[in-house]
């Protein structure tokens, strides 16, 4: 099997409400859908959601770099996923977001060629249930409380709360939210690098009574070596996010005993090849993991679900972003159940297609 063409689509998806973190405000998801075609008639799908402040990419850079990568990959066998990942790295440094979209599409093709679902192709098995959390954006205390109550009323098992724009105010936010939703629903928090070290320690100690599951990336990613200090002083577990891109980062974090948990995102890791290497590092150190994303559609989160079924140590799931979109152009793939369990089809590969009418409206670039 050989790659005959790679097509990139700018999929702009309006959000139902603004998504606000300590890193900024977004009212649209500007994603890249990738379609890879082959000489045997199989098509693979991938996706990324480039984010300048995390992976240093935009839609424009994805089109430019995507063209470079596609020109190198035409004629290659998409089933050789590890070799293609290495080839992309030899073509250009970083650009993990667009590489991940291509990587996912190649894995979709590899599994389809074996007529098996992706999780099985990756060596996984379905022996657990996956439930997503739902995120509350940074806002006024009153608005965040209202949003948290809505999340609970919709039946989500866990509320993820965005923080990081001021420790004392964040303490008030969490206290108000916990009082409003009660103690029978989980809360996890994400500061998105928003606190200084002392501020992080003080804030985490102050909200200890709120029964918080864990905190993602409390301080700036460049200060990852200071996470151990935060961790040792915090009564709340610490999860690496922005400072964890690939397996090399995982090794540094393990060696330094810096964090309790890992948060894997395919857009940071360059795709499934390196994500599996992170999982291997985590399993060797007995570190539990979360898999999450940026603002992708169900293409990416279907790949996430398949990956989650490859390790018993993947225990947390941040798979809510596809619910933020006003439109859903994905046909098939992962499905949200009424209780927010997520199930994936047993069909080959990712088990999905994309609405051609939607794609026809997207800016596109095809390399063949």
3-state secondary structure the chain: CCEEEEEEEEEEEEEEEEEEECCEEEEEEEEEEEEEEECCCCEEEEEECCCCCCCCCCHHHHHHHHHHHHHHHCCCCCCCHHHHHHHHHHHCCCCHHHHHHHHHHHHHHHHHHCCCEHHHHCCCCCCCCEECCEEECCCCHHHHHHHHHHHHHCCCCEEEEECCCCHHHHHHHHHHHHHHHCCCCEEEEECCCCECHHHHHHHHHHCHHHCEEEEECCECHHHHHHHHHHHHHCCCCEEECCCCCCHHHHHHHHHCCCCCEEEECHHHHCCHHHHHHHHHHHHHHCCEEEECCCCCCHHHHHHHHHHHCCCCCEEEECCCHHHHECCCCEEECCEECCCCEEECCCCCECCEEECHHHHHCCEEEEEC
Q: Is 217 annotated as a binding residue?
A: no
Task: Mark whether 162 is an active-site residue.
Answer: yes
Which residue among the candidates 99, 112, 160, 265 is catalytic per the annotation? 265
Catalytic residue among 7, 160, 162, 268: 162
Contact predicate 77/110, CB 8 Å: no
27 is in an annotated binding site: no
- Is 281 known as a binding-site position? no
The question of whether 125 is a catalytic residue gets the answer no
According to DSSP, the residues that pair with 19 across neighbouring strands are: 26
Catalytic residues: 162, 265
- The annotated binding site is made up of 190, 216, 241
Annotated binding residues for Mg(2+), as ranges?
190, 216, 241
């Amino acid at each position: 099997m050989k790659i005959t063409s790679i097509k990139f689509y700018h999929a702009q998806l309006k959000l139902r409400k603004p998504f606000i973190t300590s890193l900024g405000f977004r009212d649209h998801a500007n994603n890249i859908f990738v379609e890879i075609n082959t000489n045997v008639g199989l098509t693979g799908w991938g996706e990324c959601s480039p984010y300048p402040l995390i992976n240093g990419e935009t839609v424009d850079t994805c089109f430019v770099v995507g063209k470079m990568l596609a020109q190198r990959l035409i004629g290659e066998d998409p089933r050789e996923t590890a070799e293609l990942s290495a080839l992309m790295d030899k073509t250009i440094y970083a650009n993990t977001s667009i590489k991940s979209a291509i990587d996912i599409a190649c894995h979709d093709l590899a599994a389809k060629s074996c007529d098996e679902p992706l999780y099985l192709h990756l060596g996984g098995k379905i022996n657990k249930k996956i439930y997503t959390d739902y995120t509350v954006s940074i806002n006024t205390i009153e608005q965040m409380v209202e949003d948290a109550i809505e999340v609970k009323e919709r039946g989500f098992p866990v509320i993820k709360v965005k923080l990081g724009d001021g420790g004392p105010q964040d303490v008030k936010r969490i206290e108000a939210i916990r009082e409003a939703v009660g103690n029978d629903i989980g809360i996890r928090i994400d500061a998105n690098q928003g606190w200084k070290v002392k501020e992080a320690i003080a804030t985490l100690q102050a909200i200890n009574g709120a029964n918080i599951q864990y905190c993602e990336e409390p301080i700036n990613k460049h200060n990852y070596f200071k996470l151990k200090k935060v961790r040792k002083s915090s009564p709340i577990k610490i999860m690496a996010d922005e400072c964890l891109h690939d397996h090399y980062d995982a090794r540094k974090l393990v060696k330094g005993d810096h964090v309790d948990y890992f948060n894997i995102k395919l857009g940071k890791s360059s795709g499934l090849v390196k994500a599996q290497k992170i999982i291997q590092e985590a399993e060797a150190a007995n570190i539990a993991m979360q898999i999450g994303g940026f603002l992708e559609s169900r293409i990416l989160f279907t790949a996430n679900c398949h990956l989650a079924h490859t390790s018993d140590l993947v225990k947390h799931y941040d798979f809510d972003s596809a619910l933020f979109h006003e439109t859903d152009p994905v046909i098939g793939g992962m499905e949200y159940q009424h209780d927010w369990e997520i199930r994936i089809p047993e069909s080959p590969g990712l088990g999905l297609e994309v609405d051609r009418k939607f794609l026809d409206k997207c800016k596109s670039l095809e390399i063949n």
